Structure 1
Amino acid sequence: MTSKLPNLLVPDSALSVADLTAYIQSLIEQDDQLRQVWLTGEVSSATRYRSGLFFTLQDPAAKAVIQCVVWSSQLHKLTTIPAPGEQLIVLGRVHVQPHRGSYQLVVWQALPGGEGLRALRSRQLKDRLEAEGLFDVDRKRPIPSHPQTVAVVTSPQAAAWGDIQRTLKRRYPGLRVLFSPALVQGDQAPSAIVNAIRRVERDGRADVLILSRGGGAIEDMACFNDENVVRAIANCSIPVIAGIGHQRDESLADLAADVFAHTPTAAAEQAVPCLADLYEIHLERSEALSSAMARYMMIAQDRLVGLRDRMSRLKLDRALKQEMQVVSWLQQRLIHSTQRRFQSASQHCQMLQEKLTTLDPQAVLQRGYAVVRSAKGIVRSAKDVKIGDNLTIQLGQGEIEVYVNSVLNTSAQPNPEQL
């Protein structure tokens, strides 16, 4: 089997990486234009080490950056110490780093050049959003003390995702973790973060949301100062914990979040309690409850013993006999009083019955009286009777029907005894 190789001109010898780097270094460092150059740009990040101050100078409009260093021996000569967000004019020379295959600017002097464009835009956006109330403390929501589901928005390739998983598993085993992936660096990162947050909201299961990424330069963190990202965090229906990088300065996402931490691990610790700590608290409360119950039982036992002593000192038999005598005497009084009242009531009832008997019309008739009735009713006077009337006379026993032949003494009042 023959291999078909392209017709390439193969040199007799090839340069080593070191030779190529040395050649490039000689070209750059021997160039008169690069031995002493003035640059203007915005400081995006700065880190101080024992050897010197390392910072990044950027051109936000052109999206270009250059790494710079000021050695410790030159720091005291600078008019302005580089700090993130500042616009500087620096003087230095271009130096090639062979071991990295890169170049940097060794700075001798730094002059203030005004506020950086990126820092100015960020400050203006911060002021506008702050005026709208997006960073107000009153908007901050408390994180659930015992969440059942935690959502995480970060890059699947980021070390932050692994740190968060390990921390959540260690502190709160059995927790359900929802992962909503998103870019956390670059031009597409803002829209990716907004979409990831909205996915978590639509899902509806998460009790708290962690937005996170690891450390990096300020220009890499630009997506967390994007207005759309800040508004998505502020308007999120779920409490948000921001764990963004290791920078000293707070991002706008940190200000809009309900809680923010300086590392992804710290954000995960803020999201859930430590189960081991909860168990220790439970044990302490159980011991405190047991101690309280023991003290209560001891007090109750002492009180019971005291009551028993008091009862033993009282002559209960004599007291009971005295009380029984009193009850018996009261019982007799009650019986006598009831009997007297019943007798008096019986006599009164009998008297009323006799009165009723005397007033009974039938009793009057039994004594020889009679009642005369006509068609118009009881006849009380001779004037009420005419010759030819039929009358009924009621006696004590029976009745008599009579016919009136004559009427006498109609003008005189008859004597009842004459009827």
Structure 2
Amino acid sequence: MVKTPFIHYDVEMIGNIETALSVTGLTEYIKLLLEEDPQLIQVWVTGEVSSLHEHRVGLFFTLSDNQGQATIKCVVWNSQKERLLELPKLGSEILVMGNVRLYAKKGEYQLTVFQVLATGEGLQALRYQQLKNRLASEGLFEKHLKRSLPSFPKIIAVVTATTAAAWGDIQKTLSHRNPGVKVLFSPATVQGKEAPSSIVKAIERVNIDGRAELIILARGGGAVEDLFCFNDERVVRAIALSSIPVITGIGHQRDETLADLVADVNAHTPTAAAEMAVPSYEVMLIEHQQRKERLVASLKQRLREESDQLASLKNRLKNLPVSATSLREAKMKTVMLKQKLQALDPHAVLKRGFSVVRQTDGEIILQGKQLIEGQELTIQLPQGIIKVKVTEIWP
């Protein structure tokens, strides 16, 4: 027969019974501890999806560690599912972000998930997205900040690696499209830990030199991790601060980096960047010839229109009812009008011996009663003006 162990209760222990909590009280206390802990309000947890259940209100799954020593229940509510970068899959390793909540009815805690990422690349994607959002909030990617490229640049600077295939592709493309363009090479490391600072120095070097009208920042294709340096904040800010417009030609068509987003123009590949940098010499010749032909055609059309207008005016002149008699009458009428105008000319009246008397304010004196003794007057003669003073007035 198994004996029940004897438990000794002392008086002090029994006295603490008065402070006993209800199940609800204890649960609420634990809930408060969990949900108000600043470390648990937003926490990242990594693990393997060991169970997965789709429910009408959301997605329920369990995360387990690699050794199976611990698990945690998780839920993604339907309202949040469309915002996930990755959906949990049974057996997959994932990284989740959420906050801890206590389900009081069962006395269990669970993680309410707001974001899911694949581990490894997921961490890098998270850092990329966070930096992208922060730089976007500063306005670095705004379209109104993009500068227009010079139409016919004479000097172009290229920032890339000395041994990169991109350098050869750009030289070949520029030489083919416009042999007269001068190219300045500002070498930089475009892969690895040293790449960001090297790219920044290369861009600054071009700006200090000041001769280039345009910068091409380029790198050929490669693995995603090979392009990480173009997502570095230092590189992004160096492009934004450049006083010279920047074209990026990085990777392949499918690749997009933060450097592409901040650049004035994004050409996706080095060759495409070179093609956008300068117009084709052959195309310019064709366009010049077309403009020349349009100008000549326009001048010929204008000449025809003016010739037609001149011919029309000649015909109208021939048809006017003009005779010698009417011309003589018109001439006599003109002479009479001229004589009338001359008679009305005040200067002509003065020449006949008359004069004009004015007060100092310019008013013409017509009657003697307008005057007073001692008043100063001006008299305009046919030639010259004299100033007089009234000494006596006769009625």
TM-score class, shorter-chain normalisation, is 0.5 to 0.7
Partner of 2:124: 118
Residue 237 in structure 1 maps to residue 240 in structure 2:
no
Partner Cα distance (1:344, 1:197) in 2: 86
Q: Is the 8 A contact 1:154 1:184 kept in 2?
A: yes
Task: Return the offset for 1:297.
Answer: 1.2
Alpha-carbon displacement from aligned partner over 1:323-373 (angstroms, at most 9, x marks no partner):
2232344466678999xx97996699xxxxxxxxxxxxxxxxxxxxxxxxx
Residue 143 in structure 1 maps to residue 149 in structure 2:
yes
Residue 158 in structure 1 maps to residue 158 in structure 2:
no
Q: In the superposition, relative to structure 1, how do residues 305 and 316 fare at CA in structure 2: closer, same or farther (>3 Å)? A: farther
Residue 323 in structure 1 maps to residue 330 in structure 2:
yes
Q: In the superposition, relative to structure 1, how do residues 122 and 320 fare at CA in structure 2: closer, same or farther (>3 Å)? A: same
Residue 274 in structure 1 maps to residue 277 in structure 2:
no
Alpha-carbon displacement from aligned partner over 1:269-319 (angstroms, at most 9, x marks no partner):
121122222222222222222222212111111111111112222335444
Partner of 2:307: 301
Task: Return the offset for 1:178.
Answer: 0.6
Partner Cα distance (1:335, 1:329) in 2: 10
Q: Is the 8 A contact 2:157 2:184 kept in 1?
A: yes
Residue 209 in structure 1 maps to residue 215 in structure 2:
yes
Partner of 2:201: 195
Alpha-carbon displacement from aligned partner over 1:58-80 (angstroms, at most 9, x marks no partner):
xxxxxxxxxxxxxxxxxxxxx69
Q: Is the 8 A contact 1:141 1:258 kept in 2?
A: yes
Alpha-carbon displacement from aligned partner over 1:214-271 (angstroms, at most 9, x marks no partner):
0000111111111111111111111111100115131111111111111101011121
Q: 1:311 aligns with which of 313, 317, 328?
A: 317
Q: Is the 8 A contact 1:150 1:210 kept in 2?
A: yes
1:257-406 correspondence runs (5 A): 257-314=263-320, 315=322, 317-330=324-337
Alpha-carbon displacement from aligned partner over 1:12-45 (angstroms, at most 9, x marks no partner):
xxxxxxxxxxxxxxxxxxxxxxxxxxxx9xxxxx
The code of the aligned residue for 1:123 comes to Q
The code of the aligned residue for 2:334 comes to V
Partner Cα distance (2:251, 2:269) in 1: 6
Q: 2:260 aligns with which of 217, 237, 254?
A: 254
* Identity across the alignment (%): 53
Partner Cα distance (1:331, 1:247) in 2: 86
Q: 1:221 aligns with which of 218, 227, 234?
A: 227
Partner Cα distance (2:233, 2:349) in 1: 100
Partner of 2:86: none
Q: Is the 8 A contact 1:215 1:247 kept in 2?
A: no
Unpaired runs of 5+ in structure 1? 1-39, 41-78, 89-110, 349-419
Alpha-carbon displacement from aligned partner over 1:168-198 (angstroms, at most 9, x marks no partner):
1222221111100111112211111111001
Q: Is the 8 A contact 2:343 2:349 kept in 1?
A: no
1:10-159 correspondence runs (5 A): 113=119, 116-159=122-165
The code of the aligned residue for 2:181 comes to L
Partner Cα distance (1:218, 1:332) in 2: 99
Q: Is the 8 A contact 1:87 1:115 kept in 2?
A: no
Partner Cα distance (2:278, 2:295) in 1: 26
Partner Cα distance (1:291, 1:271) in 2: 32
Task: Return the offset for 1:150.
Answer: 0.7
Task: After superposing the two structures, state which structure 1 stretch, 323-332 or 274-283, moved more.
Answer: 323-332
Q: In the superposition, relative to structure 1, how do residues 163 and 343 fare at CA in structure 2: closer, same or farther (>3 Å)? A: closer
Q: Is the 8 A contact 2:190 2:199 kept in 1?
A: yes
Q: In the superposition, relative to structure 1, how do residues 300 and 344 fare at CA in structure 2: closer, same or farther (>3 Å)? A: closer
Q: 2:192 aligns with which of 186, 189, 208?
A: 186
Q: In the superposition, relative to structure 1, how do residues 181 and 347 fare at CA in structure 2: closer, same or farther (>3 Å)? A: closer
Task: Return the offset for 1:87.
Answer: 6.0
Q: Which has the larger radius of gyration?
A: 1
Find the residue that maps to 2:215 and give its secondary structure.
strand
Q: In the superposition, relative to structure 1, how do residues 226 and 149 fare at CA in structure 2: closer, same or farther (>3 Å)? A: same
Q: Is the 8 A contact 2:160 2:190 kept in 1?
A: yes
Q: In the superposition, relative to structure 1, how do residues 161 and 310 fare at CA in structure 2: closer, same or farther (>3 Å)? A: same
The code of the aligned residue for 1:210 comes to I
Partner Cα distance (2:165, 2:323) in 1: 84
Q: In the superposition, relative to structure 1, how do residues 317 and 155 fare at CA in structure 2: closer, same or farther (>3 Å)? A: farther
Q: Is the 8 A contact 1:241 1:261 kept in 2?
A: yes
Partner of 2:70: none
Q: Is the 8 A contact 1:210 1:241 kept in 2?
A: yes
CA RMSD of aligned residues (A): 3.4
Partner Cα distance (1:213, 1:335) in 2: 90
